[in-house]
Structures are given as C-alpha cells and as structure tokens.
Amino acid sequence: MTDIKILALDLDGTLFTHDKQVTAENRAALAYARERGIKVVITTGRPLAAIGNLLEDLDLVSEDDYSITFNGGLVQRNTGEILSQQGLKDEELDVIFEALKAVNLPADFLADDTVYSVSNGGVKSLYHQANPMLTFIELDSYLDLPRDIRYNKVVSVTEAAYLDAAIAELPSQLRGDFEAFKSREIIFEIMPKGVHKAAGLDRLCQHLGLDASQVMAMGDEENDLSMLTWAGWGVAMANATPEVKAVAKAVTTADNDHSGVAEAVRTYIK
C-alpha cells in the first residue's frame, strides 16, 4: 500500500477503553507512528473542548497537529486555528427538532463547547453523562434556543433500546436531507448534508497536499463508516458493528479494551 502519512483515529470504542483511557500499548504505538513522520489525527464527533486534555496528554498540541471534530464539521489545528467549518441553518434546526419531537426524543444543540438541551415528551437528555466536559444549558422550550450563534450539530442521547425504537420511527427523509447516524449506543447525531468524517479528512488532505490512499483510518461505529470506506486503509476494531466491519479492509483481533489500535499500527505501519 502507499506509505501512510495520516493515522485517523476515532475515540470511543477505538482509541479509548470503555472507561475513556488510552492504554500504555496504544500510547507507545502512537509514538511509534509519529517517529515515522505520520500525523496522528483524532477524528471524532466531539468538539475540541471535549478532547483538549487528551491532546495535551498525547502531546498533539503543535502547529503541525490537527483534529477533525464534530464528525467532520470542523477541521482545525490543535492550536485552535480553523481550516474549515460547517454548521446547520435555522430552518434545518426547525426540521430536525420537529422530527425528534414527533418521536419523543430529546434534542441537544451544540454550538462549539456549549450544549442547549430540550426535553421532549418528558424524556430528558443523557448527553451530560456522555460528555461532562461541555457546558450544558437546559431550556424550557425550543423557542428559547438562541438564534444568533452557529450550531455544529444536533444530537439525541437517551437509553439505547428506547433510542433505537424511536430512530426506527423517524421519517426516512431525515437521512436524505442530513447526515444522521449513531456514534455510540446511546447517541444519535444529525449533521449538515455532506458533513462526515471522510469529508473532514479530505479537506485536511487537500490542505496538506495528500490524498486518501495515504490515510489509515480506524473506527467502530456508524459515524466511522464514511472514513473507513474513503481511506486507503480502513481498519475496524474487533468490537466494531457488523456494518463497519463489512466496509473495512482489515479488522483487529483485539478490541478497544485490549489495545486494538496498537495491534493495527504495528501490523500496517512499518
């Protein structure tokens, strides 16, 4: 395969263990990749504010370090300089909210590191449990949502079985008009059409003068499908969903709790 220049890593279920740690083996593997001139690019649905401590911990904080956040909606240097940014329009927010309201799913509207939460049908969001580093503002009504700021995405976070049942009742047009997918068992995300991890990585590659064949991407969930399909070398974790494994060029034998990232790095990066 073409020499790998970018190692694109999902976090939850991939680089992170179930308790949100990075194993010693994974740390050593990332250092090994960087010693060979490969850029380690965190590629996540989270905003930069939710991964800042991780970037510092992994020493990914220079002018030459990049992250893809909001599932491709924001491409930036880890110093904070924005290379590309896309958000939702007011009328799109209305469409999304009405769709979620119709099936009693809570709605969280993300604007950088601030989350505006609206309950529906008495069902409150669990997003604060999944992403406690963000600032949460609970609204009494969708009508109270501030309209003078950019919203990066909308998520609905609730108990897994309830979420799956409700998603099945959403109109098919929602997936036609937006990028809509699960990023974790309890998280359903809705992004602007054309905004996904592969699109973000493609914009980064254009900035760096690289192409997809020089990217190795690793992930485990539905929101990783685009980048694993697009990348020259897409690797699914052992714990990945069947859909993700089906599109990957390789699948690790170790899961996220047993340093599957390190296994892939040592196997495919020489």
Write out pLDDT tens, residues 121-156.
999 999 999 888 899 999 999 999 999 999 999 999
Instruction: Give the Å distances, CA to CA, from 148 to 110, 145, 151, 236.
Output: 13, 9, 10, 39
The CA angle 80-34-48, to the nearest 5 degrees, is 25
Dist CA 248 CA 97 (whole Å): 33
* Six token digits for residue 162: 């309830």
The β-bridge relationship of strands 107-111 and 114-118 is antiparallel
Between 130 and 29, residue with greater pLDDT: 29
| Alpha-helical segments (H) within 49-89 | 52-57
At 69, is the pLDDT very low, low, confident or very high (cuts 50, 70, 90)?
very high
* Six token digits for residue 233: 């070398």
Taking each helix axis from N to C terminus, what angle separates 24-35 and 260-268, rounded to the nearest 10 degrees?
30
pLDDT score, position 156:
98
**Torsion on CA atoms 202, 208, 213, 214, rounded to nearest 10:** -130
Give the closest residue to 127 by CA, choosing from 50, 218, 53, 69.
50
- Which residue is catalytic, options 3, 10, 108, 255? 10
Dist CA 78 CA 62 (whole Å): 7
Residue listed under structure tokens 């609730």: 158
Q: Does residue 191 register a pLDDT over 60?
A: yes
pTM of the full structure: 0.90
The CA angle 97-103-109, to the nearest 5 degrees, is 30
DSSP 131: -
For 199-244, write each residue's pLDDT tens digit.
Answer: 999 999 999 999 999 999 999 999 999 999 999 999 999 999 999 9
Q: Please indicate whether residue 57 is annotated as part of the active site.
A: no
pLDDT score, position 80:
87
Sketch out the chain's domains with CATH numbers: 6-85+195-268 (3.40.50.1000), 90-192 (3.30.1240.10)
The CA angle 4-184-20, to the nearest 5 degrees, is 70
pLDDT score, position 36:
95
| Alpha-helical segments (H) within the chain | 24-35, 52-57, 90-102, 127-130, 160-167, 172-177, 197-208, 225-230, 242-247, 260-268
